[in-house]
Each structure stands twice: as structure tokens, then as C-alpha cells.
Structure 1
Amino acid sequence: MSAVAPRPKIVKRAVHGVLMLDKPLGLTSNDALQKVKRLLRAEKAGHTGTLDPLATGLLPLTFGAATKFSQVSLEADKGYRATLRLGITTTTGDGEGEILEQRDAIARTLDLDAIRAACEAFKGAISQLPPMYSALKHQGRALYELAREGVTVERQPRNVTIHALDIVDWQPDELLLVIDVRCTKGTYIRTLGEDIGAKLGCGAHLAGLRRTASGPVSIDQAVTLEQLEAMDDAGRLAQLTAPDSLLGEWPEVELSNDEAGRFLSGMRRRVALGDLPQVRVYGQMPRAFLGSAHVAGGELIADRLLSPTEIASMLMQAA
């Protein structure tokens, strides 16, 4: 009997940048990350906060030097398109759970004005109770794991802000309400949907969820796994945006080559700027992203720096 030939070992490499993935339904964020990491043969990779397996849409993935700035995307405001099924509440707050109560008759009496008024009530600063079916941890375990065992634990309300909540579509025959939401990090859209349903007096659950934005990045910039798999190596690398793409809303500071060298060594530099909590810093000739910093008392103070090796690798990758 002939021996089975061993699978060729994947040779990993230094890859730097951010890939905007359009995550498919049913895949965890980590599963999606590992698939893309293998396709890129990347040494180092991370994601910018989990997206529920039942949600699709924008999942920025960071590679190499860009992993140092994952927290920026995690802290950023998010955009979602949510589909709510009015008239039915479920054990999980989404379509996967068992029906708790059905009040279709009440839902069918609603007109668009009543729905719009209910949505308006949730704009601005609100308090949310995290759902049991969430990735929030309790004593080292995700709440959804406990919920599946029938265990309910006490949760503390959290304050979030709904910057915008717009009605995209109302389908009275199907009792489906589609909304666009722009909110701060940590907002539970599942809970928002349930709360809107409660406000309307008919109940609701989340029938579909798609993340459309994270900070300055939108779903329009994203690529699917299927598209990536169909590309050659050069095509996949071309999908990467520079590590500073996650910092696109921050002011920028450009330093001379001498000043850039001192900054990269961790030295504070004098700048003619007022206090700024977040800036992105570049060197000249060739122009290169150096890292993030803040300005206080006329001094540029480094927060997260790239190494000279990372900068050289990024310049070579961009060439």
C-alpha cells in the first residue's frame, strides 16, 4: 500500500495591512479570520471585535503591523442594517430561538407614523441590559453558553448612544421592519429590536443583521471570502489597505526624516499644535506611516509605534 504524501507546509510571510471582509452568515469572526489568514499566508493576524455568527457584513481584519491598531476599530462607532420581525418575541431575541409570544394582530394595526415615533424614542443616549444570548463573559464563560444551559445571571445595564436610527423599509404584509442604525461600540442591536417591539406593544425579534460600517470604513470597501478564494496571490494582497486606514478620521502629523527617527526611538517631539487626543504620524521621503500619538503641551507623544523592520516591509509591500 503506497504511503499518503504529506500535505505541503504553508510558508508564512510578513503581511501588513487591513482587509475589509464581508463576513458570511453562520461563520464566527475567528473562523473567518483563520480562513483569510491561510489565504494570505500571513504570519500575524487579528480581528477588530467579534461579529455574531448570525450576522453578516463588515469585519475589518488586521495583519502584521496593523494588528497594533485593532483597538481603534473596536472602539469606533458602528453602522448596522437590521431587519425586525414585529409581533413575535423569542427566547434568544432572534429567529433561532423558540417563540415566547405572538401578537401579530397588534402588529398589523400599526402604521408607519407609530413605528417612526417608537424608533425616535431610542435616538440619543440610552441604557441597555445586555442579553443573555451575547458574547459578554461571566466568570470566564460567554453568556450565550450559560443561556443554552438554561442559566440566567444578573447583568448590569450599560449606557450607549444611538446616533441615527432610520427606517429603510416597512413590509406590513410580512410585519418586517428594516432599519439603519449608527451607534457607539457595545450597542446590542438584538436588544434594541426587542425594545422597539416592546415600545410598540407587539414585541419583536431580530430577523437579520448586517454590519455596514466601522469608524471611517464602510461595507462598500469589503470583499467576500468567495471573491478572495477566486483570486491569485497578487489579487489578494491588492485587497489590503494600509494599517493607517483604521485611523482615517484622525488628524495627521508629518515629521522630517531626522525628527521621524527620534520619534521612532520614543522621544517626544516639539510641534506647533494644540492638544490633540489622537493623531497619526508620518515620516517624509519616502512618506511612511510611523504610528499613533497624541499632542499635549506642544509635545508629540508616541502611543503605538511601528518598528523600523515593519516600516521597511510595508514600503517594500507597497512598491
Structure 2
Amino acid sequence: MQGFLNLNKPFGWTSHDCVAKTRKLLRLKRVGHAGTLDPAATGVLPIAVGKATRLLQYLPGEKAYKATIRLGVRTTTDDLEGEIIASQPCTGLSLDAVKSALQQFVGKIEQIPPIYSAIQVQGKRLYDLARKGEDVEVPVRTVEVFEIEILDWREEEFPELDVAIACGAGTYIRAIARDLGTILETGGTLAALIRTQSSGFHLTDSITLTDLEARVQAGTFQPTPPDAALQHLPFITLSATQAQKWCQGQRICVTLNVVEILRVYDEDGRFLGIAKLVNLDKQQLLIPEMVFEPI
């Protein structure tokens, strides 16, 4: 079995927990995931099974979320899972002020990830260092936010803002909540998070672990075909002779006007793998990056 699973991650589970459960249900060792979700977050968690784990690096990076931001509160983890370190009611805060501040987060921005995150510094996870109480300088990262849409605004002692966020890979919504509170001088933290889209997979098409277990027991589960998740990449179809040589690791001379990473198929429409197109000595060469189905 090989392909992808569009999992709706449950609240309280780590991404690793979901991989372990999937591995147990499918009785497969080769299971991996794309785009880690925090335990308190729910929603789309793409999971690869079998040889498709080698394709995770080629999935598109765009993601989308629905988030609830609570203002007037700061926590150690930048979400409600952490310890409250500051709290101040801000009943006088206006939606217009919030809208103005949010504009600063659209486009390419510099972001400091939460101290409790899976980013590695000197070979160690930030959350491990934070739990040990070690002081560490969190590296600033450039991320891209394509759009932020306000969905709801609740004027309370600690106002809450519901937003839809479309962004690129590596963007921390917790950091946006924290930094929004900093700009407004109120403090802010993430109160809830649902990932509605990730790496080409959508929440409306996702299944739960309960659904997966039921389908496995009924013998009806079929993963999404490996190349179905790679439709953002251009493709090339090779002749039988070319396909055999390419699958054996040989370079194929071609003439194309496309980006450098492509899906490769044979004449029967069988997905063979991923190739890299390079220019060398005035020639275009199709070089195997990952042979998925050798001939």
C-alpha cells in the first residue's frame, strides 16, 4: 500500500501520535506526515504511507487556517496550553484598531517562532530547551502570509477575534497571535486553531482516525494515489525506451520549457517518479530525483 491519507487530526493528539496510530491500523512501518500540527490544533494533517513517504518533500507548501485569537492575555507557549504570564482586560479596544494592526502581517514578514516549537537550534528542539529552562536565541525567519480575513469579533473583557489565514510553509499562527497583541499593546495568544488546507489537501475531504479504522476493518480503505498530491508539478511522458533508461538512473535528453522539477510517466500513464531538469553543455537533461516505480 502506498499513497496519501488526508487526516483530520483530533484535538490533543500530536502529529507523531497520528502517525503511530495510522502505522498500527494499516500495519505498515513506512508512514510519515507533512506539516506538524500542535496537539491543541485540529484539521488537515497529510499522511504518506509506503513509498509515498519519499514524496513528502515535493508537496506544495501552501496552508490555510481558521484561528481564534484572544487579546489581553500572554502565555508561555503563545496559546492557551501554556502558563499565563500576563493578563489585562482591554474592553476599550476597537475592531478598527485590530484591522489596522492585522495589515502588518500580510506579505513577506519576519517572524520569531514560539519558544515552544519543534524548530531545531544547535541540533535540539526548541521545546526541549524551553522545558529545561535554558535561554536560547530563537532565529528569526522570513515567512509569507497571503491573506488574513476577519470572520468574527467579540467585544468582551478579553476580546476574541476569529480569522481565516492563508500562508506559506513555516508560518506560525501562534506567533501572529502573540505579535498582534504586542502591536496593540494588549498581549495576545492563540485560543483555537483549525487547519483547513495543507499541501493540496482540504478539510472538506479529510477523514478522522475513527473513519480510517472503520474503513480498514471493512477492507474499503484506499489511499489517495501518490501522484494525485503532486498536480502542482508539470509532467513529462517518456517513451518505453526512455522510461526504462530513466528508471535505471540514466539521464535523458529532452527539450522542454518548464520548471526544473517534474512528474514522470510512461506511455501507459504509470507514475514513475520525480525528475530534475538541468541545463548542461547546451543540453537539457532529465535526471532522476526519485524513482517511484522502477521498470
Matched, 1:112 2:95: yes
Alignment of 1:34-53 (within 5 A): 34-53=20-39
3-state SS, counterpart of residue 250 of structure 1: coil
Partner residue of 2:179 out of 189, 195, 198: 195
Can you give the 5+ residue segments of structure 1 that lack an aligned partner in the other structure? Answer: 1-14, 310-319
Deviation string 1:50-106 (CA, Å, 9 cap, x unpaired) is 221121111111111211111123x6122222111111111221112222222222x
Distance 1:228 1:307 in 2: 26
Distance 1:251 1:152 in 2: 45
Alignment of 1:1-319 (within 5 A): 15-73=1-59, 76-105=61-90, 108-173=91-156, 175-233=159-217, 235=219, 237-238=221-222, 240-285=223-268, 287-297=269-279, 298-308=284-294
Q: 1:236 to 1:48 in 2, by over 3 A?
A: farther
Residue 242 of structure 1: how far off its partner (Å): 0.9
Question: Comparing 90-99 with 62-71, which one deviates more in the overlay?
Answer: 90-99
Distance 1:172 1:230 in 2: 43
3-state SS, counterpart of residue 262 of structure 1: helix
Residue 233 of structure 1: how far off its partner (Å): 4.3
Mapped contact 1:95–1:207 kept (Cα < 8 A): yes
What TM-score results when the alignment is normalised by the length of structure 1? 0.85
3-state SS, counterpart of residue 76 of structure 1: coil
Distance 1:182 1:25 in 2: 21
Residue 275 of structure 1: how far off its partner (Å): 4.5
3-state SS, counterpart of residue 237 of structure 1: coil
Mapped contact 1:55–1:209 kept (Cα < 8 A): yes
Mapped contact 1:17–1:64 kept (Cα < 8 A): yes
The one-letter code matched in structure 1 to 2:278 is: A
Question: Comparing 228-237 with 49-58, which one deviates more in the overlay?
Answer: 228-237
Q: 1:145 to 1:296 in 2, by over 3 A?
A: closer
Distance 2:117 2:18 in 1: 19
Residue 296 of structure 1: how far off its partner (Å): 2.9
Distance 2:194 2:221 in 1: 25
Can you give the 5+ residue segments of structure 2 that lack an aligned partner in the other structure? Answer: none
Deviation string 1:217-269 (CA, Å, 9 cap, x unpaired) is 2222211011112224465532x101113312111111222221121112222
Mapped contact 2:71–2:181 kept (Cα < 8 A): yes
Q: 1:232 to 1:156 in 2, by over 3 A?
A: closer
Residue 165 of structure 1: how far off its partner (Å): 1.4
Residue 282 of structure 1: how far off its partner (Å): 0.9
Aligned Cα root-mean-square deviation (Å): 1.9
- How many residue pairs get aligned? The number is 290
Distance 1:304 1:61 in 2: 19
Distance 1:118 1:164 in 2: 14
Deviation string 1:266-314 (CA, Å, 9 cap, x unpaired) is 22223331252221111122x21111113233332221111438xxxxx
Residue 4 of structure 1 aligns with which residue?
A: none
Residue 215 of structure 1: how far off its partner (Å): 2.8
3-state SS, counterpart of residue 23 of structure 2: helix
Question: Percent identity of the aligned residues?
Answer: 41
Mapped contact 1:275–1:294 kept (Cα < 8 A): no
Distance 1:119 1:188 in 2: 15
Mapped contact 1:46–1:61 kept (Cα < 8 A): yes
Distance 2:267 2:67 in 1: 44
What TM-score results when the alignment is normalised by the length of structure 2? 0.91
Residue 136 of structure 1: how far off its partner (Å): 1.7
The one-letter code matched in structure 1 to 2:184 is: L
